[in-house]
Each structure stands twice: as C-alpha cells, then as structure tokens.
Amino acid sequence: MSYMFFYGMYFGVFVATFLLTAYMRHYALKKNIIDRPNERSSHSIPTPRGGGVAVVISYLIALSVLMVYGFFPLQSGLTLIGAGFAVALLGFLDDHGHINSLVRLAIHFLIAIGVVLSLGGFAEIVAFNGLELGFFTNIIAVLFLVWLLNLYNFMDGINGIASVEAITTTLSIAIIYLITAQNLHAQVLFLLAASVFGFLLWNFPKARIFMGDACSGFLGLILGILALIALKVDLSLFCAWLICLGVFIVDATFTLIRRVLNGHKMYDAHRSHTYQIASRRFKSHTLVTMSVVVLNVIWLFPIAYLVAIKNYTYPELGVLVAYLPLVVLAVIFRAGNAHA
C-alpha cells in the first residue's frame, strides 16, 4: 500500500469538495435555491442550500478510484456508490422541488432493502452472546438504514453539526480500524472525513451555504452501510459504530418518541431536538456544535475503542453505557417538548 497515494487522495478530495462547494453556492444563488427560515429552522437569515452535493461527488469519485486500484472490495464499493448516488439524487430533487414525504420514505425503504440484499443479508448475526434472530435481523438492518438516513436529515439544523458528527465518527472508527489492522477500510473513512471537511469550511462557524437533503441523507446512508459492513465482520465493531453515532441517534430517537407520545405526527416540522433547544438557550450554534465534538472525542470514542478492542462478551452493554448520559441530556433539555 502506498501511503503517498492515499495522502494525495485525501488532499485531492478536500480541495475538490472545497472548490465544488463554492460552485454549488454560486449555482444555488443563481437558481434561487434558498433555505428560508420557518418553524423548524434554527436560522434567521435566508441561506443558499445544496452545498453538500460537493461532498457526494468528490467522495463517490474517490471511492471509485479506490475500487479501480483494488483498494476496496468491489461488491461493497458498488453498494456504497449505487445506494449513495440514489439517495443523493432523491435529496437533490427534493432540494429543487418538494417530493411527497411518503413517496420519499418508500424510496428510502427500497434503497435500504437493496443494500441489505447486496451485502448478502444478516441472518447469521448472533447478538447478546447467543440470541439468533435469523431473517428478522434483515428487517432490523433495513429499519436501521432508513432511520439513520432520515435522522441525519433531522439533525442537520445548525452550523457545522452534521459535518462534525460525520468527521468525528469516521476518524474515531478509522483509528479503531488501524489498531485492528483493517487499514484499507480506514482509508475509506479518512477520505470521507477529508471530503466533509472541505464542505465544513463553508458551513462553520458561519454558514455561507447549507448542506441540503442531498448530502445529509447521503451521509446518514453511507455511515449506515459502513456500519453494516462492520457488522458482517464483528458485532463489537458494529456496536462501536452505534456508540460513535450516539449523539445523533439518541437525540433524534428520543425526540421522535417524545413527540409521538405527545400526539404529534412523525414528519411535523419542529425545533425540539436537544441540539436546537440548546442552541436557542445558549444563543450559539458554535458552542453546541463544539460540544458535540467534545462529547464524541472525550466520552463516546473511548467507550467505542474499549468495546471494539477488548472483545467483551456483551458489547451491546457498551452502547447502553455510552447512551445513558446522552438520554439524561435530552431529558434535561426537554427534547421533544414543543414548548421547551
């Protein structure tokens, strides 16, 4: 493996994303693709959206290069590219003109089912040191992909938060992969982090362009597929993925459950996620986004590392330990409460 080759790839992906985002900003302004503040927004200024298309383009090209040179398995790579492109295209069309939410959700399920079939299914997975769910595991995998895809869109609401979640998660898991001698899989994650970082400079601390549904859904799906690929290798690695994605998973899931119990529809626009309430309370996007970085690096990564490396009998318990303080935070900030 040529490390200079990968270093060049990282730099090239970063620069490509940065420049493509500049073009997308020009394109959005020209086509009047503007995110205007509404009841769900945490912003007060109309801002162009769709800049995350740059992340999609640069990363998929980079992934294709890795496959051509034999640095990534063909089946996994084609699954990532095909599903990622489909979700990004759907999001791009939605950014340009609203697509019915039920139609969009149905397509998400079709894509997720295609991914699970392409990866060969998960009926062989054993959880909790002996629990065999058989075919039902495939259903869980589909639901996992659809939920992660959508929650990433829900959580993309303040400057930089979706980007730093992707960057810290991919870097954390990449370090674990390097330690466990899965170097090639680590390179795929480093490339994704470099690509997202190229966009982040346009979105944080001041947002000159938003990511848009094309990229938020893309990131959620790609991270989900990579997590499922890890599940095929080792349940502990999958649990590490769940832990590193904990901030988004807990906030979105807790908020949704709370809202549904309070009688709200699942797809009603709102501003009651923990991160949204915190950004209003502290009057700062930057503080909340950087707090996510701290949580991911100081709390979630060490637990994910221990779960992945120590080969515990019940790695699922590590997920519960990691999530507990995140649930407490959601309770404290009254996530899901319309009047919080």
* pLDDT tens-digit map of 254-275: 999 999 998 887 777 788 999 9
Beta strands in the chain (DSSP E): 34-35, 47-48, 126-127, 131-132
Distance CA(312)–CA(165), nearest Å, equals 26
Confidence grade of residue 3 (pLDDT, cut at 50, 70, 90): confident
- Determine whether 230 is exposed, middle or buried from the number of CB atoms within 10 Å of its CB (0-12, 13-18, 19+): buried
Q: Which residues are annotated as a binding site for Mg(2+)?
A: 153, 213
Read off the pLDDT of residues 141-174 as tens digits, 9 standing for 90 and up.
999 999 999 999 999 989 999 999 999 999 999 9
Percentage of the residues of the chain whose pLDDT score is greater than 90: 79
How many beta carbons lie within 10 A of that of residue 26, not counting itself? 12
Read off the pLDDT of residues 301-317 as tens digits, 9 standing for 90 and up.
999 999 999 888 899 99
- Helical residues (DSSP H) of 97-211, grouped into ranges: 101-118, 136-155, 161-179, 183-203
- Whole-structure pTM over 0.85, yes or no? yes
- C-beta separation of 213 from 154 below 8 A: no
- C-beta separation of 53 from 88 below 8 A: yes
The CA-atom distances, in angstroms, between 105 and each of 83, 114, 146, 249 are: 14, 14, 8, 18
Distance CA(3)–CA(1), nearest Å, equals 6
Confidence grade of residue 1 (pLDDT, cut at 50, 70, 90): low
Tokens 């990579």 -> residue: 226
Q: Which residues are annotated as a binding site?
A: 153, 213
Torsional class of 121: left (φ above 0), alpha (ψ -120 to 50), beta (otherwise)? left
pLDDT of residue 4: 86
Confidence grade of residue 35 (pLDDT, cut at 50, 70, 90): confident
For residue 204, give the DSSP letter. S
Average pLDDT, the chain: 93
Entry field: residues in the chain: 340
- C-beta separation of 108 from 94 below 8 A: no
Distance CA(229)–CA(233), nearest Å, equals 7
